[in-house]
Amino acid sequence: MTTIQILLLSLVPTILIEYAVLVALRERSARVLGASVVVNILTNIPLNLYVLFISASTPAIALGEVLVFLIEGIWYYLFLRNLSKAFIYSFLCNTISFLTGLLVQLLSYSSRVHINY
């Protein structure tokens, strides 16, 4: 699998999940929903490049996720002008997309593991 395929495999579901979270939170502003797509491109790709080529350690991923949360919270604030709402959006979007990705990885891993009794 190429680097571009790996990046898209992470980016596209992230965009879809976070967009769905915003819609579930009743966000209707096309500017905010579009901003979600843009900020995910700006944060997801660098984070995944870092994990792929520099460090896939748990502390590195955790720090990266915190930075993404902060960057996206600030980004949403630029469009919402409501700090608490911006960081709630960032927290919920990133938590749900991260946990979904983790669940997919765990299910994928468990389907490849065969236990012989």
pLDDT digits (tens, 9 = 90+) for 6-59: 999 999 999 999 999 999 999 999 999 999 999 999 999 999 999 999 999 999
- Model pLDDT, residue 3: 96
pLDDT per residue as tens digits for the range 46-98 = 999 999 999 999 999 999 999 999 999 999 999 999 999 999 999 999 999 99
Q: Which residues of 63-74 are buried (b: 16+ CB within 10 A; e: fewer)?
A: ebeeebbebbbe
Counting Cβ atoms within 10 Å, is residue 90 exposed (0-12), middle (13-18) or buried (19+)? buried
In terms of Cβ atoms closer than 10 Å to its own Cβ (0-12, 13-18, 19+), residue 41 is middle
Contacts of 71 (CB under 8 A, 6+ apart): 39, 42, 43
